[in-house]
Structure 1
Amino acid sequence: MIQSHATRPVSTQLQSRLRRLVHDDRGMSTVEYAIGTVAAAAFGALLYTVVTGDSILTALTGLVERALTVTF
């Protein structure tokens, strides 16, 4: 026999709502994209900080100069 919402006990209705809340995946892909975007931006900022640092800039400049002055 199928019961409507009006005839089900309140505890059963509450359990049903809680179960839906716990297992509801709507909006998860949006959250995943947001977290991925924030992580990519943070990684980009970190990479920019490292690459524009004096020691890395000096090393990269030396590497490029050495590569351009190689004789065959």
Structure 2
Amino acid sequence: MARNIFRALGARIAVLAADESGMSTVEYAIGTIAAAAFGAILYTVVTGDSIVSALTNVISRALNTKV
């Protein structure tokens, strides 16, 4: 009986080890690096002088409207 339990456990471990249904660690790492790079590019664009001045102009116009 104990021998059958160990065989079943060994078969289950083999199935779990061969299962590739999820992302692997390398795929997670590449996805994380891509997200960080996108965030860095977005931060650079948003904090650039042209974006800051454009947003300042939009806010100034909105606050200085005459009715």
Show the counterpart of 2:40: 45
**Corresponding residue number in structure 2 for 1:56:** 51
Counting matched residue pairs gives 50
Match of 2:31 in 1: 36
Matched AA of 2:51: I
TM-score by length of 2: 0.55
Gap regions ≥5 residues in structure 2? 1-19
Query: C-alpha deviations, 1:28-67, integer Å up to 9, x for none?
Result: 5211111111001101111111111111110111122223
List alignment gaps of at least 5 residues for structure 1.
1-24
Given the superposition, is the C-alpha separation of residues 54 and 29 from structure 1 closer, same or farther in structure 2, using an over 3 Å criterion?
Answer: same
Structure number with the higher helix fraction is 2
The runs of at least 4 consecutive aligned structure 1 residues that moved more than 2 Å come to 64-72
